[in-house]
C-alpha cells in the first residue's frame, strides 16, 4: 500500500513540473507582448510633383495699368530661405532663366528738356528786332516815350512766340493786347491799364485821346497826329463777336531810319515786315490794310484800321 502511494506521488510530481514550466513560458511571452510597444503602421509617402522652375527666384513686380510719376511699384515679399531651398534652381534643372528687363523708376527717367525760347514751328520768317538807334529821331522823343519803346524793343530780342491769352513773356509768348498790357504796366504809365484790346480802345476813347481813321491811304491827313508811343487799333483780324469789335492793338514806333517806313511793335500771328509774315513778338511795318478787292482777303473777313490813341501823360 505504501508503495502505491509513493509511486502515485512520484507520478504527480513529474506531471506538475512540465505544467509549471509551460505556465512560466506562457507568462514570459505575455510580458514581452505587453512590454513591447506595438509599432505604428507608417503611411506610404506620396511622391511630390516637381514644380517647374520660375523665370526668376524673385517674384515679378506688380505694375499698375497707368502709373503716375509719383507712384512707386510695390514689391512682393521675397521667398524665405526654406522656400528657396525647396524650389529647383534654373541651373539645377538645366533651364536658362530669361533676362528680365526692369523699367526705370520715374525718378531715374530723364526729365524732358524744355527749350528756353519757343520755336515758330516753321511758320513765317524769323522775328525782327530793331535798336532804338535804328529809328529816326529817336533821341528827340520825350524821355517817357524813349523808356517805353526801349523796353518794348527789348522783348523782340527774346524770340517770343505768339501765345493767345498770355500777358507774360515768362510763358514763352504773348498776344497783342497782352504785350501792350505788359509794356505799359512795366513802365508805370497809368494807375490802371486794361488787358484786352477792346478795353484798351475804350480806355483811350473815354480819355478823349483817340483819333479815328476812316481813310485807307497811308498818306491820309488823318494820320498827321500819329506819334511814337501811340496805340494802334484794328478790327476784323480774326472772327469774334464783341462790341466794339476791336481785335488787335500795337504800339507805334515811328519811322525806320534806313527805309523811312512806318514801323510798330507788338505780338502778331501773321503781320509782315519787309513783305514777309512774322509770328510772335516782333517789329512790323505799319501799313493800311489792303483794299476789299485784294485777292489776299478774298472769301474772308478783311482787317480794318480803326484809329490810334495817345496814352494819357506819356508825351508830356
> In Å, what is the CA distance from 148 to each residue of 35, 166, 242, 251?
119, 20, 29, 10
Convert the pLDDT of each residue in 79-110 to its tens digit: 444 444 444 444 444 444 444 444 444 444 44
Instruction: Quote the cell numbers at residue 70.
Output: 509719383
Q: Residue 207: which H helix or E strand, with range?
A: helix 197-207
Cα angle 158, 164, 169; round to 5: 30
Number of other CB atoms surrounding residue 214 within 10 Å: 10
Residue whose C-alpha cell reads 510530481 in the numeric block: 13
Convert the pLDDT of each residue in 30-42 to its tens digit: 444 444 444 444 4
Cis amide leading into 244 (omega within 30): yes
Q: What is the mean pLDDT of the chain?
A: 74
Convert the pLDDT of each residue in 207-254 to its tens digit: 999 999 999 999 999 999 999 999 999 998 888 888 899 999 999 999
Task: Report DSSP state, residue 23.
Answer: H
Closest alpha carbon to 176 in 106, 250, 104: 250
Report CA Rg, the chain.
52
Could you tell me what percent of the chain has a pLDDT over 70? Answer: 58
- pLDDT at 55 exceeding the cut of 50: no
Number of other CB atoms surrounding residue 315 within 10 Å: 15
Closest alpha carbon to 312 in 220, 195, 227: 227
Average pLDDT over residues 257-285: 95
Amino acid at each position: 500500500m505504501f508503495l502505491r502511494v509513493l509511486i502515485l506521488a512520484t507520478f504527480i510530481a513529474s506531471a506538475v513540473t512540465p505544467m509549471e514550466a509551460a505556465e512560466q513560458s506562457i507568462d514570459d511571452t505575455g510580458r514581452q507582448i505587453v512590454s513591447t510597444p506595438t509599432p505604428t503602421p507608417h503611411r506610404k509617402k506620396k511622391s511630390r510633383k516637381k514644380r517647374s522652375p520660375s523665370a526668376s527666384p524673385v517674384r515679378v513686380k506688380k505694375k499698375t495699368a497707368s502709373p503716375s510719376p509719383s507712384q512707386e511699384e510695390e514689391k512682393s515679399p521675397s521667398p524665405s530661405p526654406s522656400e528657396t531651398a525647396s524650389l529647383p534652381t534654373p541651373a539645377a534643372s538645366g533651364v536658362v532663366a530669361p533676362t528680365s528687363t526692369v523699367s526705370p523708376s520715374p525718378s531715374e527717367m530723364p526729365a524732358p528738356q524744355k527749350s528756353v525760347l519757343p520755336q515758330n514751328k516753321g511758320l513765317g520768317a524769323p522775328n525782327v528786332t530793331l535798336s532804338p538807334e535804328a529809328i529816326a529821331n529817336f533821341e528827340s522823343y520825350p524821355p517817357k516815350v524813349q523808356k517805353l519803346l526801349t523796353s518794348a524793343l527789348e522783348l523782340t530780342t527774346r524770340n517770343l512766340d505768339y501765345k493767345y491769352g498770355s500777358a507774360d513773356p515768362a510763358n514763352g509768348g504773348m498776344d497783342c493786347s497782352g504785350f501792350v498790357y505788359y509794356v505799359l504796366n512795366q513802365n508805370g504809365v497809368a494807375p490802371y491799364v486794361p488787358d484786352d484790346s477792346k478795353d484798351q480802345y475804350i480806355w483811350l476813347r473815354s480819355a478823349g485821346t483817340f483819333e479815328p481813321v476812316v481813310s485807307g491811304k497811308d498818306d491820309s491827313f488823318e494820320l498827321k497826329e500819329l506819334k511814337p508811343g501811340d496805340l494802334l487799333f484794328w478790327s476784323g483780324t480774326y472772327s469774334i463777336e464783341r462790341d466794339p469789335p476791336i481785335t488787335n492793338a500795337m504800339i507805334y514806333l515811328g519811322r525806320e531810319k534806313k527805309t523811312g517806313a512806318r514801323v510798330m511793335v507788338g505780338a502778331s500771328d501773321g503781320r509782315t515786315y519787309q513783305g514777309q509774315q512774322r509770328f510772335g513778338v516782333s517789329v512790323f511795318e505799319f501799313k493800311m490794310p489792303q483794299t476789299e478787292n485784294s485777292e489776299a482777303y478774298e472769301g474772308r473777313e478783311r482787317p480794318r484800321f480803326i484809329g490810334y490813341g495817345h496814352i494819357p501823360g506819356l508825351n508830356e
